[in-house]
Amino acid sequence: MTDIHSNGALPPAQQALHDIAKGGENVIALSTLALSDVLLPVPPGPEEHDAQDPAEPHGIQLPVYEQEDGVKLVPVFTSEERMAQALPGTQRYRLVPLSALTGSWPSDELTLAIDTGSPDALSIAGPGVRALAALSGSGPAADPGPAS
In sequence order, the 6+-apart residues with CB closer than 8 A to the CB of 51 are 59, 60, 94
- 58, pLDDT greater than 90: no
Judge whether 9 and 73 are in contact, CB under 8 Å: no
61-111 pLDDT per residue, tens: 899 999 999 999 999 999 999 999 999 989 899 999 999 899 889 999 999
Which stretches within the chain are classed as H helix?
12-21, 27-34, 80-86, 98-102, 126-136
Instruction: Compute how many other C-beta atoms are within 10 angstroms of the C-beta atom of residue 72.
Output: 15
* Rounded alpha-carbon distances, angstroms, from residue 22 to 15, 16, 25, 102: 11, 10, 8, 23
Average pLDDT, the chain: 81
10-24 pLDDT per residue, tens: 889 999 999 988 886
Could you tell me the fold of the domain covering 12-44+57-136? Trna Endonuclease; Chain: A, domain 1 (3.40.1350)
Spatial separation of the C-alpha atoms in residues 94 and 19, rounded to whole Å: 25
**Considering only CA atoms, which of 12, 52, 9 is closest in space to residue 32?**
12
Q: Name beta bridge partners: 97.
A: 37
Spatial separation of the C-alpha atoms in residues 86 and 144, rounded to whole Å: 26
Domain boundaries, the chain: 12-44+57-136
